[in-house]
Amino acid sequence: MAVRGEMSLVGPRPVLPWEAELFEERYRRRFLVKPGISGLWQVSGRSRLTMREALELDIEYADRQSLALDLSIILRTVPTVFGGGAR
């Protein structure tokens, strides 16, 4: 496994090229930031959210990206993953 710097710890989840082609133009802003292992939608409802809601959270993340927001998401990721939080 090579580390190439193509992903961040926090950011929108990566999507397959064919999925990206289906996104409305307004959701393409999510590609302005590096994809991440965890993100705002993962800690805000994950599988309870519709695809549109998840994309809205990706855009919100791209618009508000900051160290404070990243730290908040990282801190919320641990209980979400291990405690089943944001399903």
Phi, psi of 72 (to 5 degrees): -60, -45
* pLDDT for residue 78: 86
Burial 43-67 (b: 16+ CB within 10 A, else e): bbbbeebeeeebbbbbbbbbeebee
Dihedral sign for Cα atoms in the order 35, 37, 42, 44? negative
The parts of the chain modelled with pLDDT lower than 50 are 1, 87
pLDDT, tens digit, 9 for 90 and up, residues 48-71: 899 899 999 999 999 999 999 999
* pLDDT for residue 10: 95
Dihedral sign for Cα atoms in the order 14, 15, 16, 20? negative
